[in-house]
Amino acid sequence: MAANTTTIATVTLPPGLFGTLTWLHWAEIGVFTFAALALAAVYTQPKFLMRRLRNRYPAAIWFAETDAAVVSLTIDDAPSNSTPLILDALKKNNVKATFFIIQSNVAGREHILQRIVDEGHVIGNHFVADEPSIRDEIGVFERKLLHCHETLLKYQPRVRWARPGSGWFNKDMVQVAEKHGYRFAMGSVYPHDAQVRISKINAWHIKALTRNGSVLIVHDRPWSVAVLEEALPVLTKKFTFIPLEQLEREYESPPSAPEAVATEATALLSAPDLEK
């Protein structure tokens, strides 16, 4: 009796190109290529993908669809010991930003938070710790929102913007935020600087991908100082930096195909922020 044999199909290519590859190899190449393209989309946040997110989740501001050369800058996870240098870079380039404040970062840095406000920047609610807000039961989420809110009211009479920890949110979180006068602020240009510490790469990302109406996300980290020092002189020659509220009021248009905010969670094209 002939022995059982298994034959794997092969594709013969011209010598010197790839040689002979099995279908299994082609499948592996296909999976790798798909994964690479997916990662590229996450990293570069292409406009078509941002439009899809904006249309699917209109309760948040992602960017403004406009021909005007205006953008908004947001700084996450303030205040920190790096914030004064970030403020120096903003002042040097005459740029105003929205700082999203983590309540547990404030103790011992009250003077830094006061400086943020004194220099004309806006503060927003980034809850009480650097953690994914989506993991909290909705009652806990609300208490954390209000706990940070109470702190922010000591520095600013009205707080309009909130950004859920790690960028994840769901319908219930949106409803709670809106009940307390908040709107979620997401973004369309994010260099993943909570994970990527190479300032040159992050500065390139911001300079290359910022477009009219973009909302930029930069994290309050030591390496972000160099990012802003390199990127802002270039960007201010092309764009006018305006507050989020002005971008919303004057330039944000309704999504082309509005949908109800989905019940499932959505992410800001990133893995959860890592503690640094």
The tens digit of pLDDT for each residue in 99-123 reads 999 999 999 999 999 999 999 999 9
Antiparallel, parallel or unpaired: β 10-12 and 20-22 = antiparallel
pLDDT at 19 over 80: no
- Is residue 35 over pLDDT 70? no
Q: 48: pLDDT confidence band, cut at 50, 70 and 90?
A: confident
Single-letter amino acid, residue 184 = F
Q: Which candidate, 230, 226, 231, 246, places its Cα nearest to that of 71?
A: 246
Segment 229-238 shows an average pLDDT of: 99
Residues 6+ apart with CB under 8 A from 117: 123, 155, 156
Q: Which residues, in sequence order, are bridge partners of residue 169?
A: 266
The pLDDT of residue 47 is 75
Nearest alpha carbon to residue 155 among 109, 187, 186: 109
* More confident of the two residues 128 and 57: 128
Q: What is the mean pLDDT of the chain?
A: 84
What pLDDT does residue 219 have?
98
Of 126, 95, 149, give the one whose Cα is nearest residue 268: 126
Among residues 255, 227, 234, the alpha carbon closest in space to that of 76 is found at 227
Work out the percent of the chain whose per-residue pLDDT is above 90.
Answer: 70
- Give the CATH superfamily of 59-250: Glycoside hydrolase/deacetylase (3.20.20.370)
- Asked whether the beta carbons of 176 and 142 are under 8 A apart, the reply is yes
Cβ contacts of 270 within 8 Å, gap of 6 or more: 42, 166, 167, 190, 192, 194
Q: Which of the residue ranges 36-40, 137-141, 214-218, 245-249 would you say has the lowest mean pLDDT?
A: 36-40
**40 contacts: CB under 8 Å, gap ≥ 6:** none
Higher-confidence residue of 60 and 258: namely: 60
pLDDT at position 93:
99
HEC string of the chain?
Answer: CCCCCCCCCEEECCCCCCCEEEHHHHHHHHHHHHHHHHHHHHHHCCHHHHHHHHHHCCCCECCCCCCCCEEEEEEEEECCCCHHHHHHHHHHCCCCCEEEECHHHCCCCHHHHHHHHHCCCEEEECCCCCCCHHHCCHHHHHHHHHHHHHHHCCCCCCCCEECCHHHCECHHHHHHHHHCCCEEECCCECCCCCCCCCHHHHHHHHHHHCCCCCEEEEECCCCHHHHHHHHHHHHCCCCEECCHHHHHHHCCCCCCCCCCCCCCCECCCCCCCCCC
Q: What percent of the chain has pLDDT over 70?
A: 75
